[in-house]
């Protein structure tokens, strides 16, 4: 089977002939019609998460998939061969840059009926991230003020739409050339990050979704009202996150040190900060599919690449400038 793999951390992505996936009793074997490209793929290749998410090699990359079900395991009841599905395979079972992948049925949902396989493949990771940030952790409700950084990107473009569906007042950061685009998605306030300082323009917000980390995160805390919450996608990871994963006391201490500054600032300001590393969830994907089919969320595909150009497609993420998601077409 054709697939794109890495042989070790920091090694280049390359094509290889790999064994067919093993299909367990709870698995769904999917013929990959398309696979979304994510910054997470590059960060895993670079070894950024190896302390708490170590992988064995050779490793097939890829966290998003949409395609047709080829076969199912003995315990699978809700999905049948021939179904068009989409999924974010769980950690340690990624590998959508391939012709086929076996995914646990708990991570799989029927794809939205109103979009094609390429658009469906763009959704799982970013839509689950937006859902878990805004709904699960943020508990965003109608009338609240929400700031979403990077509104034209993969997570941001979906998060804006979801926040508007929840009834929130939405501000976002974007370049001037993307201002009209993010307004079309539902943004009420657009901050040009090149010429404006969001920290001086905004105040009294209930929730911030930060995908950049560093100074952007620490400044984001200052726009929150007392009791408001910031969710960080780029880190730093917290001791609470380490405990959630059941990591060793040593790693809990390490993550405590990494996040000490931002946690201290949050405490001083009377706001909350949490790190989010999204998780696979087929049930949430079913809800997201309903929102897509109802017109509340539309996938944004800014670029597509042929399967044999997977390395170039992954490298293109560094350049940025893509609206929404880039998608790798099936073999």
Instruction: Please report which confidence band the pLDDT of residue 149 belongs to, taking 50, 70 and 90 as the band edges.
Output: very high
User: d(Cα 238, Cα 257) in Å, to the nearest integer?
Assistant: 9
Q: What is the pLDDT of residue 319?
A: 81
Task: Please state the φ and ψ torsions of residue 54, each to the nearest 5 degrees.
Answer: -75, 140
> Is 269 strand, coil or helix?
helix
Q: What is the pLDDT of residue 316?
A: 92
- Taking residue 294's Cβ as centre, other Cβ atoms within 10 Å add up to 11
Residue 135 gets the label, from left (phi > 0), alpha (psi -120 to 50) or beta, of alpha
Q: What is the pLDDT of residue 52?
A: 85
Range list of β-strands (E), 151-287: 169-174, 189-192, 205-210, 224-232, 272-275
Residue among 181, 271, 172, 267 nearest 231 (CA): 271
Q: Does the bond joining 27 to the residue before it have cis omega, within 30 degrees of 0?
A: no
Pick the CATH number of 125-275 from 3.30.1490.100, 3.40.50.720, 3.90.110.10, 3.40.50.300: 3.40.50.720
- Mean pLDDT across the stretch 155-175? 98
Q: Does the bond joining 236 to the residue before it have cis omega, within 30 degrees of 0?
A: yes
Q: What is the pLDDT of residue 247?
A: 86
Q: What is the DSSP letter of 24?
A: -
> Is 155 strand, coil or helix?
helix
Q: What is the pLDDT of residue 32?
A: 98
User: d(Cα 69, Cα 83) in Å, to the nearest integer?
Assistant: 5
Instruction: Please report which confidence band the pLDDT of residue 308 belongs to, taking 50, 70 and 90 as the band edges.
Output: very high
Q: What is the pLDDT of residue 254?
A: 87
Q: What is the pLDDT of residue 48?
A: 92
| pLDDT tens sequence across 3-28 | 999 999 999 999 999 999 999 999 99
User: d(Cα 330, Cα 127) in Å, to the nearest integer?
Assistant: 21
| pLDDT tens sequence across 37-87 | 999 999 999 999 998 899 999 999 999 999 999 999 999 999 999 999 999
| pTM, to two decimals | 0.97
- Mean pLDDT across the stretch 303-311? 98
> Is 157 strand, coil or helix?
helix
Task: Please state the φ and ψ torsions of residue 95, each to the nearest 5 degrees.
Answer: 135, 45
- Taking residue 260's Cβ as centre, other Cβ atoms within 10 Å add up to 13
Pick the CATH number of 2-122+299-329 from 3.90.180.10, 3.40.50.150, 3.40.50.620, 3.40.640.10: 3.90.180.10
| pLDDT tens sequence across 179-228 | 999 999 999 999 999 999 999 999 999 999 999 999 999 999 999 999 99
Q: What is the pLDDT of residue 245?
A: 83
In the chain, domain spans: 2-122+299-329, 125-275
Q: What is the pLDDT of residue 318?
A: 84
Q: What is the pLDDT of residue 88?
A: 98
């Amino acid at each position: 089977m054709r697939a794109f793999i890495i042989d070790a951390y920091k090694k280049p992505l390359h094509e290889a002939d790999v064994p067919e996936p093993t299909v367990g009793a709870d698995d769904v074997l999917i013929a990959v019609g398309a696979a979304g490209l994510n910054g997470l793929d590059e960060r895993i290749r670079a070894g950024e998460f190896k302390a708490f998410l170590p992988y064995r090699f050779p490793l097939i990359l890829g966290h998003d998939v949409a395609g047709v079900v080829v076969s199912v395991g003995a315990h699978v009841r809700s999905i049948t061969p021939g179904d068009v599905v989409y999924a974010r395979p769980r950690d340690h079972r990624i590998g959508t840059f391939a012709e086929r992948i076996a995914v646990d049925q708990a991570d799989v949902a029927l794809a939205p009926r109103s979009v094609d396989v390429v658009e469906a493949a763009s959704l799982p990771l970013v839509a689950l991230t937006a859902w878990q940030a805004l709904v699960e952790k943020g508990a965003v409700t109608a009338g609240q003020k929400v700031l979403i950084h990077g509104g034209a990107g993969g997570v941001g473009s979906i998060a804006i739409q979801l926040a508007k569906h929840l009834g929130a007042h939405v501000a976002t950061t974007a370049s001037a050339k993307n201002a009209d685009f993010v307004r079309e998605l539902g943004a009420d306030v657009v901050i040009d990050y090149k010429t404006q300082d969001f920290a001086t323009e905004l105040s009294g917000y209930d929730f911030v979704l930060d995908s950049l980390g560093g100074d952007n995160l620490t400044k984001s805390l200052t726009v929150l009202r007392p009791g408001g919450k910031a969710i960080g996608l780029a880190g730093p990871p917290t001791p609470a996150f380490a405990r959630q994963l059941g990591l060793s006391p040593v790693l809990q201490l390490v993550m405590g040190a990494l996040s000490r500054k931002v946690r201290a600032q949050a405490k001083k300001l009377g706001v909350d900060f949490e790190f989010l590393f999204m998780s696979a969830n087929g049930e949430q994907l079913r809800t997201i599919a309903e929102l897509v089919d109802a017109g509340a969320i539309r996938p944004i595909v800014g670029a597509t690449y042929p399967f044999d150009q997977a390395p170039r497609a992954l490298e293109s993420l560094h350049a940025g400038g893509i609206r929404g998601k880039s998608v790798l077409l099936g073999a």
